[in-house]
Copies of this chain bind each other. A is one copy, B any other.
């Protein structure tokens, strides 16, 4: 691998190994050495320009001037914590909670999506008095000791704690049932019963309402209705992890759970919230917040500080003033059509899926058997990188192109993506 990289890259990799330790993951065989970002663009140290079709953290565009200005101004004015009074956190959380349906009217701010999910699990414990959690078998919700246990791909050394149960990820391309909604609800109900029979009891189901890491399957309207009913009937709560689909990314709705037509009990927020500034949060009802804050003492030093709130407020400003949710809907539909056209040309594309600025295509070596083109997709991603397109893979079989650009992505960008992908699929033989 090292032979393929420049001396500068080699030197950076060596320094990483020495001071950051081994196994620090990078993207690509020849990792990209970035120096600049603006809008949908990234530049490397050699001046090469990349179309960023992947990174959702810079939600309103890399280095958006309105967000940068808000951070710079507030950082120069005051940055302290919530044990003093400040309008910033109030103005922001009032604006944020106004985007949710009743009774999701209160918010807690922290720094990372991991911290948000860590809090959400304690909210479930506070409300139910139980600790058993259900997640899908191909998800990821964060990196704290507790939250990292929710991922089957991230098993702790001493084994998975047995208060976690996993249900099969919904797969619209290879459906397990003719009634996927009822099938999923039945799977959840079975795990609820298991937990209720255990010492842990059942506290919560946590899921991404867009099933982003699971490969964003096409699900029928009302997919989660029966599941939510089962969760509530068992005295548990539903936690919706909106770190990926939230803040207008899906185009039609501001939140993924609104697209699903459900109101969860707790919603967690992260990555895009501050356009890269570390701010995250949990939104829930006044009752659940009260239960949590009564059961647990919680203070987060950096959480909700004036600079974090200024960054997050500026992100909301830009989404609204630049009409980015509408753009996500428009460009997303355009991109999905274009990807479908590509599927008509390239046999390797087995399924086109997604919504708004979160879409992709599942690559298969054979459309009849739907055999995942897991090795092939790696070569495609590497070659796209060489041709100036950054994206990645996802899904249960890691054979789905994950295209999740920031909301500045437009039709022209889409054309460049699709044309380059067309050329790569033509040039790289399976």
Chain A residues engaging chain B, CB cutoff 8 angstroms: 9, 12-13, 15-16, 18-27, 31-37, 42, 55, 57-58, 62-63, 65, 67-68, 71-72, 75-87, 89-90, 93-94, 97, 105-108, 110-115, 118, 121-122, 125-126, 129, 131, 143-146, 148, 153-154, 156-158, 270-271, 275-279, 286, 289-290, 292-302, 305, 307-308
Q: Contacts A97-B19, A106-B21 given: A76-B68 contact, CB under 8 Å? A: yes
B85–A57 contact, CB under 8 A? no
Q: Contacts A276-B79, A277-B307 given: A298-B143 contact, CB under 8 Å? A: yes
Q: What is the bound-complex CA distance between A82 and B63, given in angstroms?
A: 17
Q: What is the bound-complex CA distance between A105 and B19, given in angstroms?
A: 6
B301–A86 contact, CB under 8 A? no
A37–B79 contact, CB under 8 A? yes
Residues of B close to A107: CB separation below 8 A: 19-20
Copy count, this protein chain: 2
What 7 new A-B contacts, CB under 8 Å, besides A36-B78, A111-B278, A157-B296?
A19-B105, A20-B90, A20-B108, A22-B289, A24-B293, A34-B78, A57-B302
Residues of B close to A68: CB separation below 8 A: 72, 75-76
State the majority secondary structure of interface residues on A. Answer: mixed
B112–A78 contact, CB under 8 A? no
B307–A19 contact, CB under 8 A? no
Residues of B close to A307: CB separation below 8 A: 276-277
